[in-house]
């Protein structure tokens, strides 16, 4: 079949980072969006709740978006939907569980639920969405009901493999649809996009089966409560905990609204099988004997605002840590979170808990394909071109190298980061334009108003503290009316600050009364240079100037 037209592949998120996945496909003024996720902030992104993709490109062409396809229900794929729906009105396509999780999310953000046009698709369906014919097929991951996509346009066939692993014994007993991959392969795949998360990991990712025995051991040895932390959307893990609870005669309770809501919808739709006799409310669980209880909660990344974060700090409201608790962190650190997690583990240990995490016992397996699975995918699909997605640059590069090892010509492997458009036309691939592909920070109610300058300021305040100076000058002759008032916070000890204040006053007076100044900045600079001489630190210096 001859190829017609040009398909643009527009990576808006997830390429060059872990999180906020979003890819757009554009053919003849029609745009199909795949996924709309969030990313969790790094340690140095102070005060940021989460980050969403910069989808300005979609905002500009909002009326051209014909559909939003969501591959699975993890936050890094659905978390930004309610933001996207504020700017783009298009039908959403998702499998039943993914749809359910999207509905839970939308319900929490009043207003966006009514705008959403949700369509349920089943793995195995083919749906025409504008110029795009989309084949949805089942893939294994750490959440049930995940799909890969075959996207057919006149310009060619693209296979979009979102997060996947080739697990032959998944928790839900539903392996990847290899036959569909083979069928797509037979049709001739022009471009394969594939999950790069574990491209640095040799071998195969272990099956989720291995967690069963690890949980057995934990449940057998735990003398008191078992507290298991994972992501609220790691539905498969929640099933495994429920199974272990049933087997070991413990009752399971869920802490945290996201966990409660997700479990409710997944049970209703039949993706979680937890007998009513196993599940109890948190209040009930807290009344029971410790060795009869397992609590599931969030906070496996050590987030301070999560339940485990608060337990480690002794600030959780509903219940506190007990010395015979066993805390299991059932997840792998997201890059950048290692330090926070390590601190959390230390704090939990200090408070007397037994802590089990993935380097001590296989209480977590990755939901992402390792190298041998990535190779198997490429060998089944036999794509003409290859574009690694879902990973930091080093992971994308490694994945690209794997494709070359398997015989895909180097010129047909294209490694790009967010914002670099790729074009497929005439059966060939090339780089297109560059568009914005950065971060949009969400901080409470404010979206996108926070930028790096503000974060740098927050960092500076956190590191070096603040020095406040109140200056009142005579409006006629510009001389000081009284001694400058000075307050410092977080800079040096109050005693040390006290010692410096006379000299600071002296410097302010000589600048102001000497007349060699135009505005507050000159005072700030004079004070700053002195403070740096004395302490080798640069606190934030703020001067308020009034005229009397
Ligand atoms: Zn995922
Ligand atoms: Zn993902």
Task: Write out the chain's pLDDT in tens, 548 residues.
Answer: 578 999 999 999 999 998 999 999 999 999 999 999 999 877 677 777 889 999 999 999 999 999 999 999 999 999 999 999 999 999 999 999 999 999 999 988 866 666 789 999 999 999 999 999 999 999 999 999 999 999 999 999 999 999 999 999 998 899 999 999 999 999 999 999 999 999 999 999 999 989 999 999 999 999 999 999 998 888 999 999 999 999 999 999 999 888 999 999 999 999 999 999 999 999 999 999 999 999 999 888 888 888 999 999 999 989 999 999 999 999 888 877 888 899 999 999 999 999 999 888 889 999 999 999 999 999 999 999 999 999 999 999 999 999 999 999 999 999 999 999 999 999 999 999 999 888 887 876 677 666 777 777 777 777 788 888 888 888 888 888 888 888 888 888 888 888 888 888 888 888 888 877 778 888 888 888 888 888 888 888 888 888 88
165 C-alpha to ligand 2 centroid (Å): 12
199 C-alpha to ligand 2 centroid (Å): 14
292 C-alpha to ligand 2 centroid (Å): 34
360 C-alpha to ligand 2 centroid (Å): 25
80 C-alpha to ligand 1 centroid (Å): 14
141 C-alpha to ligand 1 centroid (Å): 7
**Residue corresponding to tokens 């410096």:** 500
Is the four-CA dihedral 72, 73, 77, 83 of positive or negative sign? positive
For residue 453, the tally of other CB atoms under 10 A from its CB is 8
73 C-alpha to ligand 1 centroid (Å): 7
Q: Quick one: pLDDT at residue 525? A: 86
How far is 266 from 96, CA to CA, in rounded Å? 9
Ligand at minimal distance from the CA of 144 is: 1
197 C-alpha to ligand 2 centroid (Å): 8
329 C-alpha to ligand 2 centroid (Å): 19
Q: Which of 331, 253, 276, 268 is nearest to 99 (CA)?
A: 268
Ligand at minimal distance from the CA of 147 is: 1
Ligand at minimal distance from the CA of 19 is: 2
409 C-alpha to ligand 1 centroid (Å): 29
Ligand at minimal distance from the CA of 233 is: 1
How far is 65 from 55, CA to CA, in rounded Å? 12
User: What is the value of pTM for the model shown?
Assistant: 0.85
Q: Is the backbone of residue 547 left (phi > 0), alpha (psi -120 to 50) or beta?
A: beta
77 C-alpha to ligand 2 centroid (Å): 6
2 C-alpha to ligand 2 centroid (Å): 34
310 C-alpha to ligand 1 centroid (Å): 26
Q: Do residues 258 and 288 touch, judged by C-beta distance below 8 A? A: no
How far is 308 from 292, CA to CA, in rounded Å? 20
Q: Quick one: pLDDT at residue 306? A: 87
Q: Quick one: pLDDT at residue 497? A: 82
64 C-alpha to ligand 1 centroid (Å): 27
Ligand at minimal distance from the CA of 164 is: 1
Ligand at minimal distance from the CA of 72 is: 1
57 C-alpha to ligand 2 centroid (Å): 22
């Amino acid at each position: 079949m001859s190829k017609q037209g040009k398909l643009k592949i527009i990576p808006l998120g997830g390429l060059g980072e872990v999180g906020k996945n979003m890819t757009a496909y554009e053919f003849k003024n029609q745009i199909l969006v795949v996924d709309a996720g969030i990313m969790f902030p790094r340690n140095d992104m102070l005060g940021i709740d989460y980050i969403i993709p910069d989808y300005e490109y979609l905002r500009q062409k909002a009326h051209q978006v014909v559909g939003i396809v969501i591959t699975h229900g993890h936050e890094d794929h659905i978390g930004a939907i309610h933001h996207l729906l504020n700017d783009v009105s298009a039908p959403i396509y998702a499998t039943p569980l993914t749809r359910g999780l999207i509905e839970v999310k939308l319900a929490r953000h009043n207003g966006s639920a009514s705008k959403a046009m949700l369509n349920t698709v089943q793995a195995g369906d083919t749906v025409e969405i504008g110029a795009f014919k989309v084949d949805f097929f089942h893939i294994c991951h750490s959440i049930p009901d995940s799909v890969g996509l075959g996207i057919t346009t006149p310009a060619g066939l693209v296979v979009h493999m979102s997060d996947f692993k080739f697990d032959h014994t998944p928790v839900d007993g539903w392996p990847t649809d290899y036959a569909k991959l083979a069928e797509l392969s037979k049709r001739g795949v022009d471009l394969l996009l594939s999950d790069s998360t574990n491209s640095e990991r040799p071998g195969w990712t272990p099956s989720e089966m291995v967690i069963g025995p690890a949980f057995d051991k934990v449940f057998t040895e735990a003398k008191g409560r078992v507290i298991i932390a994972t992501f609220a959307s790691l539905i498969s893990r929640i099933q495994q905990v429920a199974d272990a609870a049933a087997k070991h005669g413990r009752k399971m309770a869920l802490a945290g609204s996201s966990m409660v809501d997700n479990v409710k919808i997944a049970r209703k739709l039949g993706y979680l099988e937890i007998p009513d006799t196993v599940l109890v409310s948190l209040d009930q669980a807290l009344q029971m004997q410790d060795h009869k209880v397992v609590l599931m909660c969030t906070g496996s990344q050590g987030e301070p605002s999560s339940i485990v974060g608060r337990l480690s700090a002794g600030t959780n409201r509903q219940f506190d840590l007990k010395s015979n608790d066993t805390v299991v962190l059932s997840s792998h650190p997201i890059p950048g979170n290692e330090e926070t997690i390590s601190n959390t583990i230390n704090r939990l240990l200090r408070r007397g808990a037994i802590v089990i995490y993935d380097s001590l016992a296989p209480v977590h397996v990755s939901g992402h394909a390792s190298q041998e699975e990535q190779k198997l995918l490429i060998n089944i699909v036999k794509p003409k071109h290859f574009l690694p997605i879902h990973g930091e640059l080093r992971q994308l590069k490694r994945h690209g190298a794997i494709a070359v090892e398997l015989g895909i010509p180097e010129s047909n492997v294209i490694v790009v980061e967010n914002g670099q458009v790729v074009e497929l036309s005439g059966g060939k691939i090339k780089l297109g334009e560059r568009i914005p592909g950065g971060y949009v920070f969400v901080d409470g109610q404010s979206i996108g108003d926070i930028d790096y300058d503000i974060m740098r300021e927050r960092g500076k305040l956190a590191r070096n503290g603040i020095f406040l100076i109140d200056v009142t000058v005579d409006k006629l002759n510009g001389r000081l009316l009284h001694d400058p008032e000075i307050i410092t916070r977080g800079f040096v000890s109050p005693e040390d600050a006290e010692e410096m204040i006379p000299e600071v006053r002296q410097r302010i007076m000589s600048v102001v009364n000497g007349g060699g100044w135009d505005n507050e900045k000159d005072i700030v600079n004079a004070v700053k240079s002195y403070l740096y001489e004395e302490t080798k630190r640069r606190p934030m210096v703020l001067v308020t100037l009034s005229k009397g």
